[in-house]
Chains A and B, each alone.
Chain A
Amino acid sequence: MNLDIPLMLESIPSLYSAAIVTIKLTVLSSFFGLLLGAILSLLRYSHSSALRRFAATYSLIFRGTPLIVQLFIIYYGLAQASALRESPLWIVFKDPVRCAVIALGLNSAAYTSEIIRAAVNSVPKGQWEAAKVLGLGQFLVFRLVVAPQALRFALPSYGNEIIMLMKGTALASTISLFDLTGRAKTLVAETYAPYEIFILVALIYLLLGLALQSLVKWGEAKVRLPSPSG
């Protein structure tokens, strides 16, 4: 198997701009996912059982179906409804980038809400009571006692979730976006050199993944407690 190295070098500039799309999708949808995920996890602790059930069902549906199916439904499926096409919401759904961010964000929100919930649950209940006894209000208990510990617990899994999200952006190529995978498929169609292009693309994803992993490691080190036993 001989690789066409000049072809690989020629492809780098167009893959570079595609990598920017991949990064943009990852950043936007992780932001959206975190926001929505935080709201969903709050609903999980709501006093209303309807809200609790809504959040749980949401999480079940988005975690129980493949992302690519969610993407197809949101992009191709919803556009079938002329009611949506004639509504002001169509400005959002007409644009493939926004659709991709919505689908990826909605999906990520389900996982993020589970991560936040598990993290908050990991703090022993006794601490809430102990802090209350010391005279702290509920918000302050959360802010000063629970949140720092939960963050420490959640960060590794949240890091995994962001990497999963980054990988999920590859599916955006199926809704006409020129992200890394979309650009790669088009380059293969122009050059008929599948090995060269996909090796290159895999390397770029790997670099992005490694960058994210070291970002998470850096974050973990930031919030780590000084180790008592050294």
Chain B
Amino acid sequence: MENALAYGPQVLQGLLYTVLLTVCTVPFAVMVGVTFAAFSLAKSRLLNRVARVYAGLFRSIPELVILLFFYYGLSNVVSTILMKPVEFSPFTTGVVALSLISGSYTAEVLRGAVQAVSLGQTEAALSLGFRPIAAWIKIILPQAYKMAIAPLTNVLLILIKDTALASVVGIEELLRKSSIAAGSTHSPFIFFGGAAAIYLVASIPILVWQEKAEKKSEVAI
């Protein structure tokens, strides 16, 4: 029970959950982000307001509290709406909560990128005879995409780190497995240090890639 090495496989299993959680959250976060970015750019005041409230909520409330909220509330709220008992697995709860958290950052980045491009360019495109949709697809989005890449990798990094809080909804990810091992072996330094090293190794390629992407965009400007 005291042997730190014996807990290795468990920690690795935790890492697997961290990776799975991140990978499964990304597509949903993008969907949520695109939707709310579109809302905040739409001409409807109501949609603008919905997007603002969403961003305000998810940017102000700590991730830990949001996750606790979803843990206690998601099944109950959905059951009430559908009027039949539904129970979400911890993993689903985690993906939903993290997608909404990450989606709020994604929406902000996308909105910022589109606004940075479209000042005047939409009008220019329209006066050149582009239809609005064509102007979006051919002119605005390609440029916004370039601008958004670096900040979006930041959102991804934040997501990876936020998965460390997902143990409160019952997911036994890397940090959870590490704390169990740290508690059982009474070696907090080894296991928390080890977990830190693993997160770092996972993040470094993304950080390096991000720096390169930033340099490229500087050249482009």
Binding site for B on A (CB under 8 A): 1, 60-61, 63-70, 72-73, 76-77, 80, 121, 160, 163, 167-171, 181, 184, 194-195, 198-199, 201-202, 205-206, 208-210, 212-213
A194 to B72, CA, bound (A): 7
Residue from B157, B175, B200 in contact with A61 in the complex, judged by beta carbons closer than 8 Å: B200
Say whether A69 contacts B175, CB under 8 Å.
yes
12 further interface pairs, Cβ-Cβ under 8 Å (given A72-B179, A202-B66, A202-B69): A1-B77, A1-B80, A68-B175, A69-B192, A167-B60, A170-B62, A171-B62, A171-B64, A198-B69, A199-B69, A201-B65, A205-B65
**Please, which residues of chain B bring their CB within 8 A of the CB of A171?**
62, 64
Residue from B72, B157, B175 in contact with A198 in the complex, judged by beta carbons closer than 8 Å: B72
26 A-B Cβ contacts within 8 A?
A1-B76, A1-B80, A63-B157, A63-B203, A64-B199, A64-B204, A65-B199, A66-B175, A68-B164, A69-B195, A77-B189, A77-B192, A77-B193, A160-B59, A167-B61, A167-B63, A169-B62, A170-B65, A171-B62, A198-B65, A198-B69, A205-B60, A205-B65, A209-B59, A210-B56, A213-B59
Question: Whose C-beta in chain A lies nearest to the C-beta of B206?
Answer: A64
Residue from B188, B189, B200 in contact with A60 in the complex, judged by beta carbons closer than 8 Å: B200
A73 to B199, CA, bound (A): 14
* B5 at interface by CB-CB < 8 Å: no
Say whether A198 contacts B68, CB under 8 Å.
yes
Number of A-B contacts (CB under 8 A): 108
**Interface residues in B110-167 (C-beta closer than 8 Å to A):** 157, 161-162, 164-165
Say whether B56 contacts A65, CB under 8 Å.
no
In the assembled complex, how far is the CB of residue B119 from the closest CB belonging to chain A, in whole angstroms? 10
Question: Whose C-beta in chain B lies nearest to the C-beta of A60?
Answer: B207
Question: Whose C-beta in chain A lies nearest to the C-beta of B189?
Answer: A77
Say whether B60 contacts A208, CB under 8 Å.
yes
7 smallest beta-carbon distances between A and B, as pairs: A209-B60, A170-B62, A64-B203, A66-B164, A167-B62, A66-B161, A64-B200
**Please, which residues of chain B bring their CB within 8 A of the CB of A168?**
62
Say whether B207 contacts A63, CB under 8 Å.
yes
In the assembled complex, how far is the CB of residue B150 from the closest CB belonging to chain A, in whole angstroms? 10
**Please, which residues of chain B bring their CB within 8 A of the CB of A199?**
69
Say whether B73 contacts A209, CB under 8 Å.
no
A164 to B59, CA, bound (A): 8
Question: Whose C-beta in chain A lies nearest to the C-beta of B56?
Answer: A210
Residue from B57, B60, B72, B199 in contact with A66 in the complex, judged by beta carbons closer than 8 Å: B199
**Please, which residues of chain A bring their CB within 8 A of the CB of B76?**
1
